[in-house]
Amino acid sequence: MSKVVTIGVIFFSLLACAQERTFSDEALNDSLIGLNGDTVTFQSILKAHEGNMVLLDIWASWCKDCVVGMPKVKELQKEFPDMTVVFISLDKDEASWKKGIERFNIEEGSHFWAKDGWKSELFQAIDLDWIPRYMVLDAQGNITLYKAIKASDKAIIEQLKENRS
Contact, 82 vs 164, CB < 8 A?
A: yes
135, burial (CB in 10 Å: exposed 0-12, middle 13-18, buried 19+): buried
pLDDT at residue 11 greater than cutoff 60: no
Q: How many CA atoms lie within 13 A of 46 on its CB side?
A: 22
- The string of pLDDT tens digits covering residues 125-157 is 999 999 999 999 999 999 999 999 999 999 999
**Which of the following CATH numbers is that of domain 21-164: 3.40.30.10, 2.30.110.10, 3.10.50.40, 2.40.50.100?**
3.40.30.10
pLDDT for 8 equals 45
pLDDT at residue 17 greater than cutoff 50: no
Give, in order, the Cα–Cα distances in Å from 7 to each of 10, 17, 19, 20.
Answer: 5, 15, 20, 22
CA distance 96 to 127: 24
The dihedral sign for the CA sequence 35, 135, 131, 102: negative
Confidence of residue 2 (pLDDT cuts 50, 70, 90): low
Confidence of residue 20 (pLDDT cuts 50, 70, 90): confident
- The string of pLDDT tens digits covering residues 104-126 is 999 899 999 999 999 999 999 99
CA distance 130 to 34: 22
What is the pLDDT of the chain when averaged over all its residues? 89
DSSP secondary structure, 70-133, as one string:
HHHHHHHHHH-TTEEEEEEE--SSHHHHHHHHHHTT--SSEEEE-TTGGGSHHHHHTT--SSSE
pTM of the complete model: 0.86
